[in-house]
Amino acid sequence: MSLPPSEIPLGAIRFNSDSQKLEYWMGSAWMQIQTFSPNLDGGARGLIGGGSDGRTDATDFITVSTAGNGQDFGNLTQARDQLGAGASRTRGIFAGGYTPSNSDRIDRYEISSLGNATDFGNLQSSRKDLDSCSNQTRIVHTGGRVTPGNRDTMGYNTIAVDGNAVDFGNLTAARSNHACYGNSVRGMIHGGIGVQNIEFITIPTLGNSQTFGDVVSERITQGAGCSSSTRGMAMGGGTSDTIIDYTTIATLGNATRFGDLYNGTGDGAGLSDSVRGVLAGGRNPSPETNIIQYINISTEGNSVDFGDLSYGSSSGRSAAGLCNGHGGLG
């Protein structure tokens, strides 16, 4: 049964059986969610930046469609770990982290050209253990940790315009060490330390998050996020968890078990194109690892080997990942 327009929640998503497309509610009309496949020479590019032990400013790149080792891309403006990341089709954004003090730094890369990061702006406040959701125009920085505890605040930037983050809204629960993923409309905030639920935001519309469902199982950290335009998942967590769980982004409900990591990993960096989800680095359980592994997002199953990061096993923990072909772009 269809709801009257006055009762449809802003940002609601439906499948139109006539057009065979996903649509979202803008408040006065249903708008089609545009799909996008990056037309890039050699495929979508993923960046993995920062990490510990000892903290690094190194950034690697991979071609997501082709298994292989990471290669040097450039350097962040500040060596740090425990940072968040997101991307448009052209720009990659790394935000916050730990230096060894909490950072409010936002860096940007031009994804098509190897080179060092440039200063973009600053978060509303310094924090670590945050994560970010993004679409083609906007990146939303969610949660994070400062002394003495977790944050429930969210800030956003327009990716094409350098500048400081401004207020987006609040999470339903303060959290850190969570996973973020999404599509062009809906951003998902998955688990975190001591948090078993999943929340969502409507990326084009400022406001507070809403409850989506529950994670498969609580772990110390919720691992790394990745998504296509329809399905998102959190990979690993804790110190060496193997769990991969997934959600159907358009449909409220609990996460479902997807499979297992072949190398159980916590604090890894997640990224994806429309087909593959990639988990890079992390810890298992200690010391750190530089292993890269991947899954096919549309098919439940276990991860397989992709390659290794270039910057060594001691720096693979608590890095962040992004890709210019991720689910938030289509």
pLDDT at position 38: 44
Residue 241 gets the label, from left (phi > 0), alpha (psi -120 to 50) or beta, of beta
pLDDT at position 314: 57
pLDDT at position 270: 95
pLDDT at position 220: 58
pLDDT at position 14: 79
pLDDT at position 16: 73
**Inter-CA distances, 183 with 142, 162, 292, Å:** 16, 23, 23
pLDDT at position 9: 80
Q: Which residues neighbour 154 within 8 Å (Cβ) at sequence distance 6 or greater? A: 140, 141, 142, 143, 167, 168, 169, 170, 171, 201, 209
pTM: 0.87
Q: What stretches in the chain show pLDDT beneath 50?
A: 34-40
pLDDT at position 221: 64
d(CA 244, CA 129): 20
pLDDT at position 189: 96
CA atoms within 13 A on the CB side of 176: 17
**Cross-strand bridge partners of residue 323:** 46
Secondary structure letter of residue 305 according to DSSP: E
Q: Are strands 304-308 and 320-323 parallel, antiparallel or unpaired?
A: unpaired
Q: Are strands 269-272 and 276-283 parallel, antiparallel or unpaired?
A: antiparallel
pLDDT at position 225: 94
**Cross-strand bridge partners of residue 293:** 279, 305
pLDDT at position 140: 98
pLDDT at position 40: 46
Burial class from Cβ neighbours inside 10 Å (0-12, 13-18, 19+) for residue 312 reads: middle
pLDDT at position 19: 63
pLDDT at position 36: 43
Query: Angle 155-159-161 (CA atoms, 0-180°, nearest 5)?
Result: 100
Q: What is the pLDDT of residues 94-123, one digit of tens each?
A: 999 999 899 999 999 999 999 999 999 999
All structural domains of the chain, each given as residue ranges with its CATH number in brackets, are 1-32 (no CATH), 44-329 (2.120.10.80)
- The DSSP code sequence of 54-118 is TT--EEEEEETTS----EEEEE-SS--BS-EEEE-SSEEEEE--BSSSBEEEEEEEETTS-S--E
Q: What is the pLDDT of residues 75-91, one digit of tens each?
A: 999 999 999 999 999 99
